[in-house]
Amino acid sequence: MTYTYMWREYPFIRGDKCYRYQTSDPHIHKKMRQRKDFSLVMWGLNRNIWVYVSKKNNLEKAKRTLRNLTHSSVKKHTASSVFLAQSTPYIANNLRP
């Protein structure tokens, strides 16, 4: 299982609305790549890792976006202001009648 992380880009600047989303899950990467409000700002060369930036009006909207991307609950890391959500593998049901 992989985790998707979200944090505010500049927490020390008042009124900053940019949030960064980091994932190593190709399925979540595809979802973020298809959204118009996300921009790819960093990717890994030797490893699957993608970091996107998106502007959100407040923290609740940013957490809701993370929850919608991963379809799981959002938790706050205790030592920092980073939020994370666990990505579960997508299993398609290919049953034929």
**Domain-located, residue 45:** yes
- In this structure, are residues 26 and 34 in contact, taking their beta carbons and an 8 Å threshold? no
How many domains are contained in the chain? 1
Contacts of 76 (CB under 8 A, 6+ apart): 82, 83, 84
Reported confidence tier of residue 93, pLDDT bands at 50, 70, 90: low
Q: How far apart are CA 50 and CA 28, in angstroms?
A: 10
Q: Give the pLDDT of residue 95.
A: 58
Q: What single letter denotes the amino acid at residue 82?
A: V
94 in a structural domain: no
Condensed to tens digits (0 to 9), the pLDDT of residues 65-87 reads 999 999 888 888 877 789 989 87
Backbone angles phi, psi at 47, to 5 degrees: -150, 150
pLDDT at 3: 87
Q: Is the pLDDT of residue 16 over 90?
A: no
Length of the chain: 97
Could you tell me the residue range of the domain that residue 33 belongs to? 2-87
What tens digit of pLDDT does each residue of 28-69 get?
999 999 999 999 999 999 999 999 999 998 889 999 999 999
Q: Is residue 92, in this structure, part of any structural domain at all?
A: no
